Structure 1
Amino acid sequence: MAKQILAERYELIERIGDGGMAAVYRAHDQLLDRYVAVKILHPQFANDEEFIVRFKKEAQGAAKLSHVNIVNIYDVGEWEGKHFIVMEYVEGETLKNKIQREGQLSIRDVLDISGQICEALEHAHSHNLIHCDIKPHNILLKPNGQVKVADFGIARAASSSTMTYSGNVVGSVHYISPEQAQGNAITPKSDIYSLGVVIYEMLTGQVPFKGENVVSIALKHLQEMPAPIHELRPDVPPVVEAIVLKAMEKDPAKRFSSTQMILDIHKAQKMLFSEDEAADDPYATKILPRGQINELAAAERVPTTAGHSENSFLKSKKFIAILIVILLLGFLTGAFLSFGKFWSNAQVVVPNVVGQSQEAAKNILTSKNLRVQVTENYDADVPEGFVISQTPAAGETVKEDRLVTIYVSKGGEKISVPDVTGLTKEEAANQLSKAGLKVGDISEEFSDKPAGTVLRQSPNAGDKLEKGKSVDLIVSKGQEVKKSGVPDVIGDSLGSAKEIIQKMGFSVGSVTEQESDRPSGTVLSQSPQPASEAAEKSAINLVVAKQRTVKNSTKEPEPNNGSAGKDLSVGKKSN
C-alpha cells in the first residue's frame, strides 16, 4: 500500500512494521504537515463485526490518554473498507531490539525504563484502561532515553505467540499473567505481572518461562516459579529482585498497584544511585550519614552529668545549628555546580558549539569560563565525535562556571545484517525493514533458483551496518533459455521436414493441411519463420499441401428450335 493516500489525508511512505493483526506504515499527514504512524487492520478482520466494534471502541478509549510515556493516538477511521488508527510516529527502537542487542541491561537503565513504563500504566489505569499486552515489542525507546508505551487497549490477533480463549485474545504467552492464562477477568494487576516479566527479561536477557508450545508456557505461569534472578546475574541488588518477585506474584492481590510500584522503583533508584551521583560531584548537596553525625556529636560533646544520654546533644540547638550549616553549604555548592558561581554577577553568553568536534567544543566552552559535560548519542546524520546539540542552548546568558552539556554523536547505530538469501525480493525487503535497514541496488542473473529469489547480498549476513543504510541484492532471473536458429523446411516433404527439425534440436508442433497445387505433403509455411531464433526444444508448427478437390461439370446441349443455321439478325427495313 506504500505511496497511497489514505482518507484523502495520510500519504503512506513506507511499511515499518507488521503483526498478526495489522500492518504499520510511516505516513505524512498532509493536513497538519507532520509524520505519523498509521496502523491498518489486515483484510481478514474487515468483516468481523464484533472485532471491528471492539477495535474502534478501545482505540477511541486509548485516544483519551495524554501522557509523555504513551504513544498518542490522533485519529481512528475507515477508508474504502480499510480500518485504521493514526498515532504518533516515534523514532528510535523497541525495547526488544535493545535487549537482543545488549543482552542484560544495566541496573540503572532497567529501573529508569521500568519507572517510565509504570508511569504510563498508572495514567492508563486511572482512566480505566488496561493495556492487556505489555511486552518489550510494545515499548518504544527514543534516542534521548524517553520511553513510549504503544498499543494501549488494542486486542491482539491469534498467532503462535498469543493465547486465545472463546475467541478473545488475552495477551502474548511469554508475558501473560496467570489469570490471563486461565481466561479469567483481566485487571490492572495483570499489566503489573507482565511488566514484572519485562523487567526480568531486561535483567537476565531471557524470559522467565519457555516451553515447546503456548500451552506449556501458560501452565508454567500458573504453576512454576522462575529461576532466581541472582543465580542468573549475581550483580542484581536484592531490592531490585524483590520488585520483580512482587510484580510477578501469582495472586493478583499480592502484587503492586502501579502507584505502589512507582514508589518502590524510585526508592530503589535513590538507594542505589543517589550516593554515586553525589560522589561523582564533590559540590553536590549531600545527606550526611548517621555515623558522621555521631562523630561530630562526640567531638563537640562537653562533659555532662551521669544522667544525660547521647541523644541530648542530638536534640540540642547547637547540633541543629551545625546541621543547618552543613546542609546550607551543600545547597550552595550544589547551586554553584548547576548554575555557576552563585555569588558572582559575571555572566556569559553560551556560544554555539553544535557541529563542532568534541575537543573543539570543549575548548570553546572552557574559554568562556564554562564547564562541560559530554553525553554520547547515536545519530546517523552527524559524524561521529561531533556535537549534535547542547544544553543550555546557544545565545542564552548564564553565570560563569555554569555546566553546559554537549550531546556528541556516536555515529549511526550499527545493526547486524540479517541473512535474506533464499527469500523472495518482497520477503527480503520486509526482513531488512524490520532490522532497520532497506533494500539498495537489485541486480539479476540466471540461476537454477526460481525467478525473484535472492541469491547473494552485500553486505553479507552478520556484517555490521549503520541503521537506515542499504543492502544490495542479487536476484535470480530463473534458468537461462538457450536459443538456436530455426531451420528452413519450406518446400520439403513432411517426413524430411520432421527429420531436419528434430536434428536441429526442436520438436514438431501442429501440422495442418491446406489445399495447394503443390504435391501433397509439401511444406507450404512454418512458424517460427526460417532464420529466426527460438528456444531449444520448442515446437515448430507446419502447414503442408493437400490435393485440391476437382468438381465434375457437364455442358447441357442448346435447344433445337428450328432456327439453326438461320441468320437471326434482324435487318433494317428500307423505306
Structure 2
Amino acid sequence: MEQTVLNQRYELKQRIGEGGMATVYQGFDLRLNRRVAIKVLHRHYVHDPDFLARFRHEAQAAAILSHPNIVNVYDVDQDGDHHYIVMEYVDGVNLKMLINRHSRLLVATTVAVGEEVARGLEAAHRVGLVHRDIKPANIIVTPEGHAVITDFGIAKSHLSTTLTQTGVTFGTVDYLSPEQAQGRKATPSSDIYALGVTLYEMLTGRLPFTGESPVTVAMQHVSAPPPPLRQFNPQVPPNLEALVLQTLEKEPHLRPASAQELGQKLRAYRVLADQQTLATPQATSLPVRATPALPGEAPGNQPGSYRNGEDRSPSLPYPVAIRAPHHPGMAGSHAGGGAGGPMGLRMPHQPAGNTIPPPRSNVSRAPQQQGIGCGILIVGMLVLVGVIGLVLAFSSGMFDSMLAGFDDQETRSSLVLTRIPAPTGEPTALPLPTPTLTPTLTPTPTAVPTVVVPNIIGKTEQEARQLLEAANLVPVDGGVRHDDVIPAGAVVEQNPPAGTVLQLAGADPSGNGDEFAPRPEVTYLRSQGPAIVFLEVPNLTGLHVDHARMQAEQTGLVVETSEEASTFFSEGFVTRQEPAPGHRVRAGEVVHLFVSVGDRVRVPDLRWMSEEEAKQRLAALDGLFYSWSDMQGPDKLGGDYYKFSPGTVVSMEPGQDEWVPRGTGITLGVREY
C-alpha cells in the first residue's frame, strides 16, 4: 500500500505477513514510541458493512484480554478505506514453520506449548470469546520458548462470514471442529478440538485428517475416527496419546470440559514427567547420615556407605542426580512418588529434613531372639554413651591428654569400643570399656555437599561457562545442533537439566585425604540457528488466491501477490506464479502469485507529461481513450501550482495504477496555460 502513516500515528515499516483477510506490517507507534504489528484489511472487505461491524466489534472485545499467552490488541480504527488493528509486536517463529522444519516436535515441547495455549484460551473463554481459528499458523513461539496466540477477533468474524457463504471455513478446514463443519455454532469446545488437532500435528508431523478437497476433510472431522498417534510416532506416551484423542472426540461433551481442564491435565503430565527425571527438589536435601539399610539390603550396598571396613566407594557414577532408596509399603507418600519414585518430598505429618524409615512390624520373637535384641539394644546404648563422651572430650580439650601416651601409629588410629559378643541366653550385665583397651576412633559420616545445576539455556557460551564454573561444575562442550528459536551460538540444550542436584567433590570425612570424585560435569550444546530445509513449490496456478495462499503457507512458504489483467482467468484467481511448480526452495522463502483482476486495463501515470504527450500515450493504449482536459489554476492546485509548467498534466481521473474496465475514458488535470 502507498500510505505509510495511518491517522498520523502508526507508521508502516515493512510487510511481515499476509493472510486471506489482511496484510500484517511491522509498524511503529509514533505517539507512544514503541514497535507494534499492524493488520490492515484487504480492500474487498471494505465494502461489506456487516463484516466491518463484526470486525470492529470482535477486535474491541479482544482488546479487553490481557494475558501472557495472547497477543495484546492496542487499537482498532480506520484511515479512509484502510481498516486496521494495532497489536503487540511479538518476536518469535510461527509454530507451523517449526513443524514443517522438524517434521514433528519433542513430546516435552508439545506439552509445554499446549499447556500455554490452553492457558490463553482459558482466559479468552472466561470473558466469552471463542477464537474459532486455533492452528499452528496462529501460534507464535518466542525465543524464550513461550507460546502466544494471535488473530483473536479477526478469526471469529472471518469464520462467521465464510460459513454463511459456503458452509466450510476456507483455509482452516484442517483444524475445523465437527460442529463447525456441520454449520453449528462454535463454542469453547471447538477451540479445544482445534488445539487437539494442533497437538496431534506437533507430535506426529501430520494432520489426523487429509483429503483431496476441503469438503472431504470436513466430512472426516464429522464422522471418521482419528488414527492413533503412536501409529506414526511410537515415542508418544500412551497416556498423552489418550489425552490428545479425547480432545478429538466428535461430541463436545466428551472432550475436556474446559481449556482450564485441558491445561491442568497437560501440566499434570509435565510435572509427572519432570519428577521421573529431576533429582531431589532444591528445598530439601537427602540426609545421608540417617539413611538406614533396608530389609534384605546389605549395609554396604548403599551409595556412599562403608562395606566391611573398606573406604567410601560410591556405587553411582558422577555426575549423579540424587534419588532416595525405595521404601516398599511406605504410607502417605506423595502422589506419583510410589515405588522407585523421586524422594526428597515431605511426607504428611513428617518433619522436614529427616527421612523416617518404615515402621517394623510387631511379630513375636523366640526367647533367644529377644535376648539377642536386648543385648544389641544395650550395646547400642553404650556406643551412644561412648560417642557422647568423645564429643565432650573433644570440646573440653581432654582428648589431647588421652592420646599423649600413644605412639604415632596409635594416634593415627581411631577410638572404638570393645566388640562385645552377642549373648546366647538370657541377657547378662555387660562389662564397661576400660582405659587399657586399644583406642580407635569411629568415623562419623558427614553429609555430602551438593549443588543445584543452573539454567544455561539461551545463554551465550561464555555466560554459560561462567555460571557453571561459579557453581563448581565442569562445563563440557557437547557440539552443536540446529534450533529455530535459540539464536546461533547460544546454549540450546544441557545435560543434566537445570534444577538437578549433583554431589560435589570433597575430602573423605575419614581423614584419609581421598576425594569423593572429580567435579561433576555439565554438557551443553550450542545452537546453529534454523536448519536449512528445502521444499517443493506446489502448483498454485488456477486456484483462487485464498486457497492458493492457504496451500502455500501450509507448505511452509511466504506468499506475496500482485495484480494483472487476464482475459482467461476470472477475478481473484492465480494466473501464474514464481517460482514455477516443482522448483525446490528453502522453507520460509517467498512464492509470488499473480492474481487476475479480470479483463481490465491499468491506468498509466501520465503526470509531468505535456497535455499533447498524454493524449498520444492514451491513443496508443488498447482499452483506454482520452476524455477531456480539466484546466486547473492556483485555486485548485494551491502551492503546487508553480511546481508544474503550463500545459503539464498534474492528475488523472481515474488515478494512476487503478484497474478499470476496458473502454474507460480518462480525464486529464492540466495546469492552465
Moved more, 42-51 or 281-290: 281-290
Q: Is the 8 A contact 1:132 1:170 kept in 2?
A: no
Q: Give the equivalent residue in structure 2 for 1:274.
A: 275
Q: Give the Å deviation of 1:287.
A: 8.0
Q: Is the 8 A contact 2:464 2:491 kept in 1?
A: no
Q: Which amino acid aligns with 1:272?
A: A
Closer, same or farther: CA 412–30 of 1 in aligned 2, 3 Å: farther
Closer, same or farther: CA 284–292 of 1 in aligned 2, 3 Å: farther
* 2: CA distance, partners of 1:455 / 1:250: 40
Q: Is the 8 A contact 1:418 1:462 kept in 2?
A: yes
2:363 to 304, 315, 330: 304
Q: Which amino acid aligns with 1:164?
A: L
TM-score scaled by length of structure 1: 0.58
TM-score scaled by length of structure 2: 0.50
* 2: CA distance, partners of 1:85 / 1:184: 28
Q: Give the Å deviation of 1:40.
A: 0.6
Structure with the bigger RCO (C-alpha within 8 Å, sep 6+) is: 2
Q: Give the Å deviation of 1:155.
A: 3.5
Closer, same or farther: CA 292–173 of 1 in aligned 2, 3 Å: same
1:381-530 pair list within 5 angstroms: 384-385=488-489, 410-416=527-533, 462=584
More strand by share: 1
Q: Provide Cα deviations, 1:390-436, integer angstroms capped at 9, x if missing partner.
A: xxxxxxxxxx99x9999986244244366789999xx9xx989x968
Does structure 1 residue 206 correspond to structure 2 residue 206?
A: yes
Closer, same or farther: CA 422–378 of 1 in aligned 2, 3 Å: same
Closer, same or farther: CA 259–211 of 1 in aligned 2, 3 Å: same
Amino-acid identity (%): 35
Q: What RMSD over aligned residues (CA atoms) do the two structures have, in Å?
A: 4.9
Q: Give the Å deviation of 1:165.
A: 3.1
1:291 to 328, 343, 349: 328
1:13-412 pair list within 5 angstroms: 13-155=13-155, 164-166=163-165, 172-256=172-256, 257-278=258-279, 291=328, 293=330, 301=360, 303-305=362-364, 336-337=451-452, 358=461, 361=463, 364-365=466-467, 368-371=470-473, 384-385=488-489, 410-412=527-529
Closer, same or farther: CA 30–282 of 1 in aligned 2, 3 Å: same
* 2: CA distance, partners of 1:438 / 1:165: 26
Q: Is the 8 A contact 2:226 2:245 kept in 1?
A: no
Q: Is the 8 A contact 1:95 1:137 kept in 2?
A: yes
Q: Is the 8 A contact 1:377 1:407 kept in 2?
A: no
Q: Give the Å deviation of 1:4.
A: 1.1
Q: Give the Å deviation of 1:34.
A: 2.0
Q: Give the Å deviation of 1:384.
A: 4.4
Closer, same or farther: CA 86–287 of 1 in aligned 2, 3 Å: farther
* 1: CA distance, partners of 2:557 / 2:224: 37
Q: Give the Å deviation of 1:14.
A: 1.4
Q: Is the 8 A contact 2:24 2:38 kept in 1?
A: yes
Q: Which amino acid aligns with 1:10?
A: Y
1:547-566 pair list within 5 angstroms: none
Closer, same or farther: CA 289–222 of 1 in aligned 2, 3 Å: farther
Alignment length (residue pairs): 401
Q: Give the Å deviation of 1:385.
A: 3.5
Q: Provide Cα deviations, 1:34-85, integer angstroms capped at 9, x if missing partner.
A: 2211111110010101000000000111111011110111110001211100
The structure with the larger Rg is: 1
Tell me, what secondary structure is at the counterpart of 1:23? strand
Closer, same or farther: CA 379–407 of 1 in aligned 2, 3 Å: farther
Q: Is the 8 A contact 1:75 1:87 kept in 2?
A: yes
Q: Provide Cα deviations, 1:306-348, integer angstroms capped at 9, x if missing partner.
A: 9xxxxxxxxxxxxxxxxxxxxxxxxx999952689xxxxxxxx
Closer, same or farther: CA 423–122 of 1 in aligned 2, 3 Å: closer
Tell me, what secondary structure is at the counterpart of 2:11? strand
* 2: CA distance, partners of 1:84 / 1:454: 29
Q: Which amino acid aligns with 2:363?
A: T
Q: Is the 8 A contact 2:6 2:79 kept in 1?
A: yes
* 1: CA distance, partners of 2:21 / 2:321: 51
Q: Give the Å deviation of 1:87.
A: 0.7
Tell me, what secondary structure is at the counterpart of 2:208? coil
Listed as ranges, the gaps of 5+ residues in structure 2 are: 281-316, 332-338, 340-354, 366-446, 493-503, 506-519, 561-575, 592-673
Q: Is the 8 A contact 2:13 2:26 kept in 1?
A: yes
Q: Give the equivalent residue in structure 1 for 2:12.
A: 12
Tell me, what secondary structure is at the counterpart of 1:189? helix
* 1: CA distance, partners of 2:51 / 2:490: 50
Q: Which amino acid aligns with 2:211?
A: G
Closer, same or farther: CA 236–283 of 1 in aligned 2, 3 Å: same
Tell me, what secondary structure is at the counterpart of 2:201? helix
* 2: CA distance, partners of 1:71 / 1:385: 28
* 1: CA distance, partners of 2:540 / 2:216: 32
* 2: CA distance, partners of 1:146 / 1:291: 40
Q: Give the Å deviation of 1:179.
A: 0.8
Q: Is the 8 A contact 1:229 1:236 kept in 2?
A: yes
* 1: CA distance, partners of 2:52 / 2:23: 16
Q: Which amino acid aligns with 1:274?
A: Q
Q: Provide Cα deviations, 1:253-294, integer angstroms capped at 9, x if missing partner.
A: 111111211121112112333211238997878687563748
Q: Which amino acid aligns with 1:195?
A: L
